Amino acid sequence: MNQSKKIGVISLGCDKNRVDTEKMLAILKKQHQIVSDIEDAQIIIVNTCAFLESSRKEAIEEILSAAEYKGVSAEKLIVTGCLPQKFVEELFYDLPEVDAFLGVSDYGELLEVIERIYKGERVNAVGAPREECGKRRVLTTDYHAYLKIADGCSNHCTYCLIPFIRGGYRSVPIDDLIEEVRGLGQVKELILVAQDTAKYGYDLDGKPTLTKLIRELSKEKNVESIRLLYCYPENINDELIEELKTNDKLIKYIDIPFQHADDKVLKLMNRKGTGAGYLELVERLKREVKGIAIRSTFITGFPRESEEAFNNLVEFLKSAKLFNAGFFKYSKEDGTAAARLDGQIAQSVKTKRWKKLYSVQKAVVKENLKEFKGKTLKVLAEGFDSDELVYYGRAYFNAPDVDGKVFFFSADEVVYGEYVDVKIIKATGYDLYGERI
């Protein structure tokens, strides 16, 4: 089939999945036209997430919604990513509307698969998780770019499906990452991601070499700053802390997925560490890296999470005073060790505890943001809020999508993607408000 087709892509899930989608788009553009409106697409591709039951439900809903276009405006439907990687045997028979399925490492076969489905074949092209499909990407973000430095996970936390979906931890060699970054153009903020970013290089060199990677990326002239997400606490070493302290390109921000702070629950989760050790790490980072913003995620309602264990987590939040945190209700995933534990928690209890955690953290954030009143912040301008009639952007302590924003008034026109100085007037919720000076 030599004819170019119009292709629309729906991308679901995390920022790591977004990078996969961007690589997919680069492959597709070699022969086909990418359209932003699904109604204009002849081929619809849904790149899925399957981490939690809720994400699987969302993926199925998106697939069925996309299938409604078949025979109307669209000709073919392809499903890729985590959902078929784990469940293709069921999906192949349950979703006859789908013409082809590809897994998390099969994007390099897309062009061939499109040829096959237009010849009338229905394709299951899901293979084992393996090396990256390419270094070229079509960016789908403005003013920042994610760099997936590793795929898979070997930690085997008892609640998590990732090792069963994406396989063991596989670091991308530094030279390949440098080549990929050079192809991105000018990047205001390069965000390093992996299932465990701090573990980078362990499978290549026998020890974590994230700091080495950061130093190499910092030499690239097209990279203005670097942000770290998803650094497991046990791999945050002296060298990385020193780099956070001294590297001017490395944003004074780190995301550390603690997941809990009660020792018994952490052990049941197969997490390495203790609540006291985690608190000590937080205090050390704050002490040694002036002004650092620390973000984390936590799971509540894990099997056998007693009231005492939950209260230990609450007290940890009050003591740690993290800049921000996200909270999840435990999701029982078939095939994981935690799903087989007794002492499963009722959904109503999970919801009650989840709300309590957000309430506690909201009070912490309120106190954290008070410190900025009257101060001037460097803000990356990203857009204009037509309802509030103010511009908005992000300060160093705001990662895209998961943290708050800085809203500001400016008498002069603001160029998006440029830094402006904003004097902070007030804080509301998770956001700051001010005026450009």
CB atoms within 10 A of CB 322: 21
Instruction: State residue 138 phi and psi, 5-degree precision.
Output: -110, 110
Which residues share a beta bridge with 26?
none
Residue range 39-56, pLDDT digits in tens: 999 999 999 999 899 999
Average pLDDT over residues 333-359: 97
Where residue 131 falls among pLDDT bands split at 50, 70, 90? confident
CA 121 to chain centre: 35
Tokens of 170: 């596989």
Fold topology of 376-436? OB fold (Dihydrolipoamide Acetyltransferase, E2P) (2.40.50)
At residue 174, the 3 state secondary structure works out as helix
pLDDT at 18: 95
Common-topology check for domains 6-124 and 376-436: no
Three-class HEC string of 56-124 = HHHHHHHHHHHHCCECCCECEEEEEEHHHHHHHHHHHHHCCCCCEEECCCCHHHHHHHHHHHHCCCCEE
Residue range 296-322, pLDDT digits in tens: 999 999 999 999 999 999 999 999 999
First CA to last CA distance, the chain? 58
Average pLDDT over residues 214-243: 98
Q: What is the mean pLDDT of the chain?
A: 96
CA distance 314 to 292: 22
Domain range annotation of the chain: 6-124, 144-369, 376-436
**Of 304, 257, 306, residue with least CA distance to 278:** 257
Residue type, 48: T
CATH architecture of the domain with residue range 144-369: Alpha-Beta Horseshoe (3.80)
CATH 3.30.450.80 fits 6-124, yes or no: no
pLDDT at 134: 73
CA distance 115 to 132: 22
Where residue 130 falls among pLDDT bands split at 50, 70, 90? confident
Residue range 60-107, pLDDT digits in tens: 999 999 999 998 999 999 999 999 999 999 999 999 999 999 999 999
CA distance 83 to 62: 12
pLDDT over threshold 90, residue 2 = no
Percentage of the chain beyond pLDDT 70 is 99
